[in-house]
Structure 1
Amino acid sequence: MTAIVVFWSCLALVVYAYAGYPVMVALLARARGRTPAPQDVAPPVSVLVAACNEEARIAARVRDILAQDYPGDCIEVIVASDGSTDGTVHAAQLDDPRVRVLDLQPNGGKAVALNAAAAAARHGVLVFADARQRFAPGALRALVAPMADPRVGGVSGELVIGEGAGNPGLYWKMETRLRSDEARLGWLHGASGAIHAVRRALYVPMPPGTVLDDMWTPLQTLRAGQYTWMARDAVAIDSASATLGEEFRRKLRTLAGNWQLIARLPWLLHPARNPVFLAWVSHKLLRLLVPWALLLALLASALAPPLPYRLLFALQLAAYALAALAWMKPALARQVPLLPAAGTFLMLNSAALLSLPASLAGNSQRLWKKH
């Protein structure tokens, strides 16, 4: 009987985390959601880019930002070179008074670089961008437009991922829809690191080594009594990971960063102190617990009475085998409907399983470095 209870309890947790919660949020957003009334505003913005050894692409990235349809006297770009050992500093120094470059030595990590850039910013809205992506036309205006609503303290754009071995496909579409619905309820507690903004007065410097700057800032915005909106027409474009191994490392870094945030922001676990406790537990914490629930469900079905649990045990093994095939052979998996999604599910939960030991290892600096 105990094994049966464990099996169904674990299955319920998995179904709630990946289906029940998103459906609940979608229904609530439809019934009670609110949308800020964006205006065609262009407040002065400081665009912050943390870069480490980005000589090859930093100049093009800065030009891409400056090419946005935005008043020239209302934009500055601050490149924080985080201990670069190549020509990043020189390459970023365009002949444009709107561009400033901080040569930070030694390498202190992305959090330190962003803190330094935010401290040097002159304008009241901070926009965060990465070196590897580019902004779609009109992205900057679309990003700051919701800030015409005084309740909006921050805005996340949308990251659009191209084709490649590490394209998360269906998962990313579902995740983007969930974030959009959370934003309509005032529950959004994460942003796209490639394109998001916050009012400078709400920016809280991050401790050195913080991995998830794109969660730290929205969470601090919520604690200050304002919320983060998701502007889906503010688009940053990225290429998919070149290999599945690269995508796995990226997800491992992100998921380990969630454990790190729990250690650094213990109020996340307190229902009375976390203003989005239900959303954070359902969206973030349970995703970290799902792989453990899956393992327990597999073990419980092996120990439960023979029928029907032996059959369920065999079905789970078969499903994992197919997912592993899809993970290892993505080109083959694309020939079978839903099989790529199964491979992505296995990859994500494998990363989640390893995220706790990766976080406990304590080497957060290594998590941010390029591989």
Structure 2
Amino acid sequence: MSAAMAMLFWLATAVVGYAYLGYPLLVRWLASRRATTPIMSTDAQAPRVTVLIAAHNEARRIASRLLDILAQEHPADRLSVIVVSDGSSDGTAWAADIGDPRVRVVELQPNGGKAVALNLAASMAEGEILVFADSRQRFVPGTLRALLMPFADPQVGAVSGELVIEGAGDEGLYWRMEKALRFDEARLGWLHGVSGAVHAMRRELFKPMPPGTVLDDMWLPLNVVLSGRRVWMARDAVALDVASATPGEEFHRKLRTLAGNWQLLARLPVLADPLRNPVFLAWFSHKFLRLVVPWALLAALIASALADGAFYRIALAAQLAGYAVAALAWAMPRPAARIPLLPAAGTFLMLNSAALLSLPASLTRDASRLWRKH
């Protein structure tokens, strides 16, 4: 019994270590030796671009968001925007009618969800390139140009920008680490996820999403990869956002996103096939193992409690102490922000708690509430 628990402890620890340290280091090492960069356009004729926005009850900020997009550096006659007001009850469609002929507003009733709204917008688009944006962020100057430059390379099917979270503290540290990993994956041709707030793709590669799809920012780029094209990351294409207002709001957002990975696997089972998924190693290591890690952490905790020996007693005490400190940091983020790395511990616990609950949440009878973002 004790020997089996010791083996379980080390196996679980290895899973956690590979997911959070081993895989990022492997990708960084490979990218330093095998990285490739797409051909970038500088002087070619600007493509026709249609920006798609699915909005629900965004009357307060939709007009300023549209002005922000239309102010981007791009020929006015080659830029258009389609706003789908998805079941809004606050006059979003009226607020989006800013009197610019480049903006087309469609009202969808009843609320169909983001996937349905984006499918509708894409079916109406005329641009060669579809750009996806959300209502609450804003683009820094030059973002649209940076998103479009990699499409000069015919192998590039989609391009992700970078989401910058202002005032996020050590959660920003986690997000910066995540973006560095994505960029290394992009340099290897392994990138398979984008920032939903700022990304673009060739219109002919758009594949309609099943209603209720949570992770449009995974469904779309994965289908680009499965078609044989590459997803690039343009780090100069920046969308600015603010951190979640409360820890509870952030936890629910993470729970929804992580549960969406289980939904995505059910809808794209090819992901689990290493012979058909060209980015299987990256998907398995980066996405799937993140869902497995909390179970590995739980197994390590139980195994260290049941294994014999002073080392495992110390390991158990260290884990319990670590989780207690992380729980305090999660519950009291403002005081924790004064201590270096403590917020990161709280973020780690929050993310893995959400991942632990993501599978049962995705299987519950009331999962439809989880799938609906608005």
Q: CA deviation at 1:369?
A: 4.4
- Aligned partner of 2:65 among 58, 61, 77: 61
**Which of residues 163, 167, 172 is equivalent to 1:163?**
167
User: For 1:164 and 1:365, how far apart are their aligned partners in 2?
Assistant: 30
Of 215, 220, 225, the residue aligned with 1:222 is 225
Aligned residue type for 1:255: L
Alignment of 1:314-325 (within 5 A): 314-325=317-328
SS at match of 1:299: helix
Task: Describe the superposition over 1:198-228 as per-residue Cα deviations: whole angstroms up to 9, x where unpaired.
Answer: 0001000000000000000110000110010
> Which residue type is aligned with residue 24 of structure 1?
L
Instruction: Give the structure 2 partner of residue 39 of structure 1.
Output: 41
Between 1:358-367 and 1:231-240, the stretch displaced more is: 358-367
Cα shift at 1:37: 2.7
Q: What is the distance in 1 between the residues matched to 2:114 and 2:369?
A: 11
Deviation at residue 363 of structure 1 after TM alignment:
4.9
- 1:165-314 correspondence runs (5 A): 168-314=171-317
Query: Pick from 3, 7, 17: which aligns with 2:9?
Result: 7
The answer (yes or no) to whether the contact 1:10–1:296 under 8 Å persists in 2 is yes
CA RMSD after TM alignment: 1.3
**Cα distance in 2 for residues equivalent to 1:69 and 1:367:** 38
Q: Which residue of 2 aligns with 1:124?
A: 128
Distance 1:251 1:9, change over 3 A: same
The residue type equivalent to 2:316 in the other structure is F
2:135 paired with 1:136: no
Instruction: Give distance in 2, aligned partners of 1:134 and 1:365.
Output: 30
Structure 1 residues 222 and 363: CA distance shift in structure 2, 3 A: farther
Change (3 A) 1:86 1:251: same
Please state how far the C-alpha of 1:336 moved relative to its aligned partner. 2.0
2:109 is aligned to 105
Unmatched 5+ stretches in structure 2: none
What is the letter of the counterpart of residue 82 of structure 2? I
| Conserved 8 A contact 2:260-2:371 | no
Distance in 2, matches of 1:2 and 1:263, equals 33
Indicate if the aligned counterparts of 2:212 and 2:372 stay in contact, CA closer than 8 A: no
Between the aligned partners of 2:323 and 2:26, the Cα distance in structure 1 is 28
Give TM-score, length-normalised by structure 1.
0.97
> Separation in 1 of the partners of 2:187 and 2:350?
30
SS at the partner of 1:324? Answer: helix
Shift of residue 39, structure 1, vs aligned partner:
1.4
Q: CA deviation at 1:164?
A: 4.7
Tell me, yes or no, if the aligned pair for 1:323 and 1:339 is still in contact at 8 Å: yes
CA distance in 1, matches of 2:82, 2:120: 10
Structure 1 gap ranges (5+): none
Query: Aligned equivalents of 2:352 and 2:317: distance in 1?
Result: 20
> Is residue 2:358 matched to residue 1:360?
no
Q: Could you tell me which residue of structure 2 aligns to residue 78 of structure 1?
A: 82
Q: What is the TM-score normalised by the length of structure 2?
A: 0.97
